[in-house]
Amino acid sequence: MITVIDVGNTNITIGVMQDEEILASFRLMTSQRRTSDEFVAAFYGLFQTKGIQHKEVEGVVISSVVPKVMHSLRNSIYKFFDLEPIIVGAGIKTGIQIKRENPRSVGADRIVDLVAGHHLYGGPLIIIDFGTATTYDYLSADGEFEFGLTSPGLETSAVALWSKAAQLPEIEIKKPMSIRCKNTITSMQGGLVFGYIGQTEYIIKKIKEEVGEAKVIATGGLGRIIFNETEMIDAYDPNLSFKGMKVIYDKNKGETKYN
């Protein structure tokens, strides 16, 4: 049994996996001021609610795009699990090649998605992660991460809209019944969701014009909203990052030193 931890800009998602099965998952708000003891207390409570014995955890993998969290989080892993975590980053075996100008600048979140995509679907692939930022990454049939695009996430766009316009309210992000929106809330929902569907489909189309056909896989918290409204995404997998970290664990377990 292993624990996989995905530290994003908005949330920290935690998965407990037995082989390929996800036994439980948890979500914490990302806080850069949380101490290692606070992490330990959170882990203890979360594991207790699911009846999971943390002493049975044999390994921990962390993917993080928030460096300021890592000191406390890593120390909490030592305290709670008594384990050295595998940190996704330079020097870790992944099974993919990063063909970018600066490979070290590629976020761990993108790496774990690409690793999972390559392991589960082969290639070529377009992997779209609908998170705080939305990323569109292309992986070749040979497992090479050739290029990617980054845009503001759906929720990030929504927050920018109501925080910058004094008379616009906070809204639930969902597709309205019709594009013929007749009030402020549905007009905002329509602009956000229909606009984001358009962005997604256009970027997929432009990538395929340059590289040819590719399977399109979506992930991320709000990815299901877009997946349900377009035929250009082949599959939606909300646990893609967990699966990628499991693959990385299998490739690196037994190593004596990690990042």
| Burial of 36: CB neighbours in 10 Å, binned 0-12, 13-18, 19+ | middle
Neighbours of 147 (CB within 10 A): 14
Pair of tokens at residue 135: 């990323």
Pair of tokens at residue 163: 């925080």
Instruction: Determine the Cα–Cα distance for residues 96 and 112; give it in Å rounded to an integer.
Output: 10
The CA–CA distances, whole Å, from 82 to 76, 77, 79, 115, 144 equal 9, 7, 6, 27, 35
82 as an active site residue: the answer is no
Backbone angles phi, psi at 88, to 5 degrees: -70, 120
Find the catalytic residue in 6, 82, 109, 137.
Answer: 109
Helix (H, G, I), strand (E, B) or coil at 113: helix
What residues act catalytically?
109
